[in-house]
Structure 1
Amino acid sequence: MQSGPYRVGDVMTRAVVAVGRRARFKDIVERMEQWQVGALPVLEGDGRVIGLVSEADLLPKEEFRDSDPGRVTQMQRLSDLAKAGAVSAEELMSAPAVTVHADATLPEAARIMALRHVKRLPVVDADGVLEGVVSRGDLLKVFLRPDEDLAEEIRRRLLDTLSPAPDEPVRVTVAEGVATLTGRVEDDSLIPLAVRLAQGVEGVVSVDCLLTGTGEE
């Protein structure tokens, strides 16, 4: 059973297809099709990630195939026009690559993806050597955790924090990822804390708090 917060290393894909900087355009497309991926890390000889080539990097070649862009377009789309004429990974890749370490938390990885507008991140060690790839889909794997696993983790988190009245202990149930907390606590101020603890369990979709304090009738 998972103990502590999930890390990128817990959900990342370890078997990763990559290309070298001299990989040719057609070879890149063929590898993407073969492995059903939308981007490939570009590596130096020692496995260090130096960039990432994605479908978005390849599309300008098709977009500008039969067009003659005017001066304004040329100024606005200079990078894309350069990629339209590119033939190797080195010319096509986005560099430096946006990467993440295996010990990063899933929220940290999600924030990087959102801020940098990327769908996947190469996972690298301290030397920048490729260890895997984490995608948006990988980050969503925590929502596949069984409801009972979620309930057990919430109970563990609450056990040392709340002091329920002996006649009505806090009960935790989870259905379809939605956690429901029922019962009575001795200190009303602990109710918001209980909600935060339950919401902090990875895989929980939402929390329905029905807890009451001893001062409530």
Structure 2
Amino acid sequence: MTTAQEIMTRAASTVQEDDSVKNVGKILLQTGHHSIPVVNASGHLVGMIGERDLIDANREVHLPTMLTILDGLIPLGGMHEYEEELRKVTAVTAGQLASTKVVTARPDENADAVAEKLLRKEVHALPVVDADGKLLGIITRSDILQHLLKP
């Protein structure tokens, strides 16, 4: 059984949580990755930033439709989406922009289970973390393909 630690890229490109959003964009473009892990000073995973997050951070915020009843404002759906858009457009650092609900893999996890997570969760990369949340490496869809196609 092949494990995540056997196929992961150990020297994963990362950004620090206090890096600027602009710097994150430059690093993503330079590396050609679709997403990048955000870590704190001790190397623990804080979140992930993808291309979509960077695009969202530079869009206009769309205000939710409101209904006025007896001088009260009632949002007609989309309040969570509005809050998320607002969080992204006001982000200055990687830590503020990063998605914190990150799907991860453990080093001893079966490679097939990792591949399943990549496909089911529709992500391009899975950070591999230890029990304390320290980033050990990353597994991309390309890593899975290389593993499957090796003789």
TM-score, structure 2 as length reference: 0.81
Determine if the alignment matches structure 1 residue 71 to structure 2 residue 64: yes
| Contact 2:46 2:95 (C-alpha < 8 Å) held by counterparts | no
1:31 is matched by which residue type in structure 2?
A: I
Determine if the alignment matches structure 1 residue 111 to structure 2 residue 116: yes
Cα separation, 2, equivalents of 1:19 and 1:113 = 21
The CA deviation at 1:94 is 0.6
Cα separation, 1, equivalents of 2:3 and 2:141 = 14
1:9-48 superposed matches below 5 A: 9-48=5-44
The CA deviation at 1:131 is 0.9
After superposition, what is the alpha-carbon deviation per residue over 1:107-138, rounded to whole angstroms, capped at 9, x for unaligned?
11122223333221111122211111001111
Match of 2:48 in 1: 52
Aligned length: 139
2:131 is matched by which residue type in structure 1?
A: A
Taking a change above 3 Å as real, the CA distance of residues 76 and 96 of structure 1, as seen in their structure-2 partners, is: closer
Within the candidate set 88, 100, 104, 1:99 is matched to: 104
Q: Select the structure of larger CA radius of gyration.
A: 1
Q: Find the residue that maps to 1:40 and give its secondary structure.
A: strand
Q: Find the residue that maps to 1:111 and give its secondary structure.
A: helix
Higher RCO, 1 vs 2 (CA within 8 Å, ≥6 residues apart): 2
Q: Find the residue that maps to 2:53 and give its secondary structure.
A: helix
Match of 1:143 in 2: 148
The CA deviation at 1:93 is 0.5
Match of 2:74 in 1: none
Gaps of 5+ in 2: 66-76
RMSD in angstroms over aligned alpha carbons? 1.9
Percent identity (aligned): 30
Q: Find the residue that maps to 2:95 and give its secondary structure.
A: helix
1:140 is matched by which residue type in structure 2?
A: L
1:71 is matched by which residue type in structure 2?
A: P
TM-score, structure 1 as length reference: 0.58
After superposition, what is the alpha-carbon deviation per residue over 1:20-76, rounded to whole angstroms, capped at 9, x for unaligned?
211101110111112221211111221111211111111113332xxx624248626
| Contact 1:124 1:131 (C-alpha < 8 Å) held by counterparts | yes
1:77 is matched by which residue type in structure 2?
A: E
Determine if the alignment matches structure 1 residue 130 to structure 2 residue 126: no
Q: Find the residue that maps to 1:10 and give its secondary structure.
A: helix
Cα separation, 1, equivalents of 2:133 and 2:125 = 16
Gaps of 5+ in 1: 147-217
1:142 is matched by which residue type in structure 2?
A: H
The CA deviation at 1:80 is 2.4
Cα separation, 1, equivalents of 2:42 and 2:50 = 21
